[in-house]
Amino acid sequence: MERKNVWETYNDRQIKELEKLCAGYRDFLDNGKTERECVDTIVNMLEDAGYTELQKAVLKGGRLKPGDKVYAVWMNKSVAIYRLGRRPLEEGLNILGAHIDSPRMDVKQNPLYEDGGFAYLDTHYYGGVKKYQWVTLPLAIHGVIVKKDGTTVEVNIGEEEDDPVFFVSDLLVHLAGEQLDKKASKVIEGEALDLIVGNRPLVLSENDKEDGKKEKKEAKEAVKAGVLDILKKTYDVEEEDFISAELEIVPAGKAREAGLDRSMILSYGQDDRVCAYTSLKAMLDVGKTERAVCCILVDKEEIGSVGATGMQSRFFENSLAELMELAGEYSELKLRRALARSCMLSSDVSAGFDPSYASYFEKKNAAFLGNGMVFNKFTGARGKSGSNDANAEYMAHIRKIFEKKGICFQTAELGKVDVGGGGTIAYILALYGMNVIDSGVAVLNMHAPWEAVSKADVYETYRGYKAFVEEADLT
């Protein structure tokens, strides 16, 4: 089955819609390089669209009615968004679920040290990365430092034109003979991914020198002392405050249009913020529906959806229970029925076919950039290990919706059977008994510091998500 390149199907109106959507998406990527930043951006968009925070609705009391819009934030890293439909929640919801975490480097709790005239921050990489891709790039620091008094200091260094940037060094090629003989996984070791943050020693004036002991100590680690001095003057934080900090190291720079034809977007963090943004936009743009609609945007997918802000937590279930209570519907049995009768698209990216590495793909079952939204009936590895395998009836139901709405889509697997494999949040939601299938955007360079997608696929995925929340119903 050949799939047509969707660029060939668009009229002028659709091209304008596509460009407007993708401009908003690039802005979303620039403003949301961490989970916290994503949630802040999302909440602003929700408030502008007339959504009310769920906890405020709980405190206010009263009853929610069809068409009411609420959202719940958990630990500033995950958000669940709801719009009530005309039918009871017990009959199920139409759910979009994506993740907003991306591979990166995290600063350790005791990170700052000096060696060879450089000040470093020690890091621990997060998620599946090729470590050698993260050296010699301009990098930025994003995150928060929370002091003992509860004050939160926001950090964002490296994105403005006059900001400094940071980097991880690499061995010059003239000395790298032994290094280049290593396996790619060993060329750069995890403990070598330390961020260079300074090279200028602190010079103390005579008034600053309290005694000879302090002078000797600071002369020995004067570059580290210089960095700490900057942190104190700029953010009023001490070295001990790193203990209660969440600082993420990400590529510096804005999302860019790619290609002479500007047909693609090149940016950090598109796995999975491309599906998060298109899901959110579909949620914001949908009108009143028969079934309630929901969008879940969560943390920690890249490391197994663990922890209090990952999909394995009870955050989603608890927020739905609160929603049902406000709608006058809650009971434990009705909650279970609502979950089991729901339909979901696990909104996550798929690997785009790369002609430079064609041998790793099975071409008939690969996703191509520009061929529309991608469905992965199952993910997992090799013998479908760790997979949610959507049933044929559900796939047929979605096909019918997309044909009705004129949505262009393709189906794919993540590489050859004995080569590929990957996971999403689909299997977790499937535990409730609901119908779930993986769907999203094909990505080139997945998990690299800079990933590429087709603008056309972003547009078709948005259209597909919107059609799904409006039409899906297997009850």
What is the distance between the alpha carbons of residues 177 and 247, in angstroms, rounded to a whole number?
34
Q: Which CA distances in Å does 371 have to 106, 243, 292, 400?
A: 35, 47, 30, 18
What whole-number percentage of the chain has pLDDT above 70?
A: 97
pLDDT tens for 408-456 read 999 998 888 888 777 788 899 999 999 999 999 999 999 999 999 999 9
Phi (first) and psi of residue 243, to 5 degrees: -60, -35
Query: Other C-beta atoms within 10 Å of 220: how many?
Result: 10
- 94 is written with which tokens? 């139409």
Calculate mean pLDDT across residues 141-146: 97
Query: Other C-beta atoms within 10 Å of 57: how many?
Result: 19
Q: Tell me the pLDDT band of 212, cut-offs 50, 70 and 90.
A: low
What is the distance between the alpha carbons of residues 55 and 69, in angstroms, rounded to a whole number?
13
Query: Other C-beta atoms within 10 Å of 106: how many?
Result: 17
Q: Which CA distances in Å does 137 have to 146, 203, 249, 266?
A: 28, 29, 11, 15
Q: Tell me the pLDDT band of 256, cut-offs 50, 70 and 90.
A: very high
Q: Tell me the pLDDT band of 81, cut-offs 50, 70 and 90.
A: very high
Calculate mean pLDDT across residues 312-327: 96
Say how many CA atoms lie within 13 Å of 249 toward its Cβ: 27
Residue 472: the pLDDT is 87
Which residue, 5, 92, 26, is CA-closest to 394? 92
Say how many CA atoms lie within 13 Å of 240 toward its Cβ: 3
Rounded (to 5) percent helix, strand, coil in the chain = 40, 25, 35
Calculate mean pLDDT across residues 248-258: 98
DSSP per-residue codes, 334-397: HHHHHHHT-EEEEE--EEBP-GGGGGGS-GGG-B-TTS-EEEES--EETTTBT-----HHHHHH
Which residue, 135, 126, 131, is CA-closest to 107? 126
Buried b (16+ CB within 10 A) or exposed e, 380-411: bbeeeebbbebeeebeebbeebbeeeebbbbb
Residue 240: the pLDDT is 96
Q: Is 87 helix (H, G, I), strand (E, B) or coil?
A: coil
Residue 414: the pLDDT is 85
pLDDT tens for 29-78 read 999 999 999 999 999 999 999 999 999 999 888 899 999 999 999 999 99
- What is the C-alpha end-to-end distance of the chain, expressed in Å? 31
Residue 415: the pLDDT is 83
- Identify any residues that bridge with 375 across adjacent strands, giving them in sequence order: 411, 439
List, in order, residues 6 or more apart from 446 with CB less than 8 Å away.
271, 349, 351, 352
As a whole number of angstroms, the longest Cα–Cα distance in the chain is: 81
Calculate mean pLDDT across residues 91-100: 96
pLDDT tens for 220-239 read 799 999 999 999 999 999 99
Q: Which amino acid is at 91?
A: E
The H-or-E segment that residue 247 falls in is strand 245-251
- Pairing relationship of beta strands 118-126 and 256-258 according to DSSP bridges: unpaired
| pLDDT value at 216 more than 50 | no
Calculate mean pLDDT across residues 378-404: 87
Residue 289: the pLDDT is 94
- Identify any residues that bridge with 71 across adjacent strands, giving them in sequence order: 53, 81
| pLDDT value at 260 more than 50 | yes
What is the distance between the alpha carbons of residues 54 and 60, in angstroms, rounded to a whole number?
10
| CB of 143 closer than 8 Å to CB of 34 | yes
| CB of 266 closer than 8 Å to CB of 452 | yes
The H-or-E segment that residue 217 falls in is helix 212-220
The rounded mean pLDDT for the chain is 93
Q: Which CA distances in Å does 227 have to 157, 201, 237?
A: 14, 8, 11
The H-or-E segment that residue 400 falls in is helix 392-405
Residue 114: the pLDDT is 97
Residue 373: the pLDDT is 96
Calculate mean pLDDT across residues 84-101: 96
| pLDDT value at 213 more than 60 | no
pLDDT tens for 163-209 read 999 999 999 999 999 999 999 999 999 999 999 999 999 987 666 55
Q: Which amino acid is at 232?
A: K
Domains plus CATH for the chain? 6-102+268-471 (3.40.630.10), 104-251 (2.30.250.10)
Residue 395: the pLDDT is 93
